Amino acid sequence: MGLNQFYQEYKAKLRTPDEAVRLVKHGDWVDYSTGVGAPYLLDFALAKRKGELRDVKVRGSLALSPIQIVEQDREQESFTYQSWHCTGYERKLCEEGLCYYMPMLFRNEASYYRKYLTVNVAMICVAPMDRLGYFSFSFVNCTTKAILDTADIIILEVNENLPSVYGGKDDCIHISQVDAVVEGKHPPLAQLPTAKATQIDEKIAMQIMPHLSDGVVLQLGIGGMPNSVGKLIAESDLKHLGMHTELLSDGFVELYEAGKLDHSCKTLHKDKGVFGIALGTQKLYDWVEENRGLISFPMDYVNSPEVMSQIDGLISINSCIGVDLYGQVSSESSGTRHISGTGGQVDFATGAYMSRGGKSFICMSSAFTDKNGQTHSRIVPKFTGGDIITTPRTQASYIVSEYGCVNLAGRSTWERAEMLISLAHPDFRDGLIQGAESQKIWRRSNRR
Ligand SMILES: CC(=O)SCCNC(=O)CCNC(=O)[C@H](O)C(C)(C)COP(=O)(O)OP(=O)(O)OC[C@H]1O[C@@H](n2cnc3c(N)ncnc32)[C@H](O)[C@@H]1OP(=O)(O)O
Ligand SMILES: CCCC(=O)O
């Protein structure tokens, strides 16, 4: 078989975006690829069919740029959009009733597709085809293969800005498996810069440092705080660190540049950093491109607690919106206001617990100041406003604020209340004690 054959097949399947989106029918479920790999040309073309199509449901995730089927159809005449994990943009859409969240555990998302979901048309962005007819999923291994395996019709959008990225499993698709290909000019890749570390972030990171040692394997979650911890580790004396993370973010580039990250002590995938999706700045994207020290895997592998149980010293660092005195962790909503998603938080809390020497840290500043300048304690007696519980109290382990670090695992209700109140801002402690007393989780002998 001549190599030229793949180019011929590519040419035969090449369509304009307008031609390709003609494959969508009334009532279809359409899947868009995730994050920095979201389709751009196909989205614009599909949005042009507003008013003509009826009841088309589009699934997406971690959208960093405006989604045209939403923006061009705010009346939802033709399209309904739902997301597996909301960015700041999608959270605003949720508030306007233009986006609906799909609850999930990231390790299970692929199996939802394989077991239950219908995908009539998959629209997936990929790197340009290689000489053997393969398209790399680039920065978005994630759940891409499961979506494609489920889809009746596969349309690839080649994004010239997406590089080929090495993967251990489910990281590419062959031209022979595809129905249509589109190509065209794309804007530069969207970036998600890490927020600058605050003094409170640094104090929180200081609470975690005594739990780390040479050779530990890190997972850093989404948001400013986990990345601040990464920065502090980069400035420490720690060495020979490893990476096994769902989200590969800029914090890891800092660790690499500081000479800390060589994966040499890993008990699984020694010498290789493992990730599911890369999302950050162009500096991160440049580092990941054809980097033989990194391998992407699908989320049902990266986030599998059984896989994590084979990694000694797995340290998971994530953040949350608030915690109640029972130890329930809310990380994806504030009351009924949807903010982000469960993502991999529960997967990593479970897996780090199963890792020999592993630990799961969930971090927060003790208080939050809202847009009106009002300060609220993140530690509350109980959740009352519809706040979604992300990590249940049975799975919560180390909780960290700038005032300390406590381990809730195995602790009774009164011990939890006492430990969590010790993490609260002093201004809120008396109120929390009163709450604990009225909820009958405060011992007479508890410290005041
Ligand atoms: C496993 C891996 O490798 S990655 C997986 C880890 N995944 C998770 O942990 C999933 C759940 N966690 C998350 O989604 C994030 O870590 C978060 C949301 C908890 C924090 O992320 P950050 O980006 O640091 O959040 P940030 O401080 O910017 O707040 C996000 C929004 O929540 C709002 N918010 C945050 N805390 C509160 C609060 N206590 N009350 C009300 N609103 C709040 C903020 O105002 C902001 O809203 P805005 O965009 O309208 O201004
Ligand atoms: C990729 C980030 C999603 C999550 O929070 O798990």
227 CA to middle of ligand 1, Å? 13
Q: Are residues 118 and 213 in the same domain?
A: no
Q: Does 70 have pLDDT greater than 80?
A: yes
Instruction: Using DSSP bridges, classify how beta strands 322-324 and 329-330 pair: parallel, antiparallel or unpaired.
Output: antiparallel
Q: Are residues 96 and 134 in the same domain?
A: yes
Domain that holds residue 351: 199-438
39 CA to middle of ligand 2, Å? 19
Give the pTM: 0.96
330 CA to middle of ligand 1, Å? 10
ipTM entry: 0.96
Give the closest ligand to the alpha carbon of residue 277.
2
DSSP letter string, 91-158: HHHHHTT--EE----HHHHHHHHHHT--EEEEEEEEPPP-TTSEEE-TTB-TTHHHHHHHEEEEEEEE
- Is the Cβ atom of 107 under 6 angstroms away from ligand 2? no
Q: Are residues 121 and 239 in the same domain?
A: no
pLDDT in tens, 123-181: 999 999 999 999 999 999 999 999 999 999 999 999 999 999 999 999 999 999 999 99
Which ligand 1 atom sits closest to the C-alpha of 319? 16
* pLDDT classification of 391: cutoffs 50, 70, 90: very high
* pLDDT classification of 224: cutoffs 50, 70, 90: confident
Q: What is the percent of the chain with per-residue pLDDT over 70, rounded to a whole number?
A: 98
Q: What is the CATH number of the domain that holds 400?
A: 3.40.1080.20
Contact status, residue 307 vs residue 274, Cβ threshold 8 Å: no
Residue 327 counted as an annotated binding residue: no
Report DSSP state, residue 37.
G
Q: What is the CATH number of the domain that holds 117?
A: 3.40.1080.10
> What is the count of structural domains for the chain?
2
**Domain end point (choices 137, 157, 183):** 183
Q: Which residues contact 28 (CB under 8 A, 6 or more apart)?
A: 56, 57, 120, 121
Q: Are residues 216 and 179 in the same domain?
A: no
pLDDT in tens, 14-62: 999 999 999 999 999 999 999 999 999 999 999 999 999 999 999 999 9
Q: Which residues contact 11 (CB under 8 A, 6 or more apart)?
A: none
Q: Does 210 have pLDDT greater than 80?
A: yes
**Domain end point (choices 151, 183, 215):** 183
Q: Does 2 have pLDDT greater than 80?
A: no
Amino acid at position 402, single letter = E
Q: Are residues 138 and 205 in the same domain?
A: no
Q: Does 312 have pLDDT greater than 70?
A: yes
pLDDT of residue 232: 86
pLDDT in tens, 392-427: 999 999 999 999 999 999 999 999 999 999 999 999
The mean pLDDT of 287-291, rounded to a whole number, is 96
Which ligand 2 atom sits closest to the C-alpha of 276? 1
Q: Does residue 418 carry a catalytic annotation?
A: no
Residue 225 counted as an annotated binding residue: yes
* Domain contains 194: no
Please measure the distance between the N-terminal and C-terminal CA atoms of the chain and give it in whole angstroms. 78
251 CA to middle of ligand 2, Å? 15
- Is the Cβ atom of 247 under 6 angstroms away from ligand 2? yes
Instruction: Using DSSP bridges, classify how beta strands 180-183 and 151-158 pair: parallel, antiparallel or unpaired.
Output: parallel
Instruction: Using DSSP bridges, classify how beta strands 172-174 and 100-101 pair: parallel, antiparallel or unpaired.
Output: unpaired
Q: Which of 84, 105, 227, 247 to mutate to test the pocket of ligand 2 (most atoms within 8 A of CB)?
A: 247
Residue 273 counted as an annotated binding residue: no
**What value does the mean pLDDT of the chain take?**
96
Amino acid at position 369, single letter = T
The mean pLDDT of 120-124, rounded to a whole number, is 99
The mean pLDDT of 317-332, rounded to a whole number, is 97
- Given the residues 246, 254, 332, 402, the one annotated as active site: 246
Q: Does 448 have pLDDT greater than 70?
A: no
- Is the Cβ atom of 276 under 6 angstroms away from ligand 2? no
Q: Are residues 381 and 432 in the same domain?
A: yes
pLDDT in tens, 231-262: 889 999 999 999 999 999 999 999 999 999 99
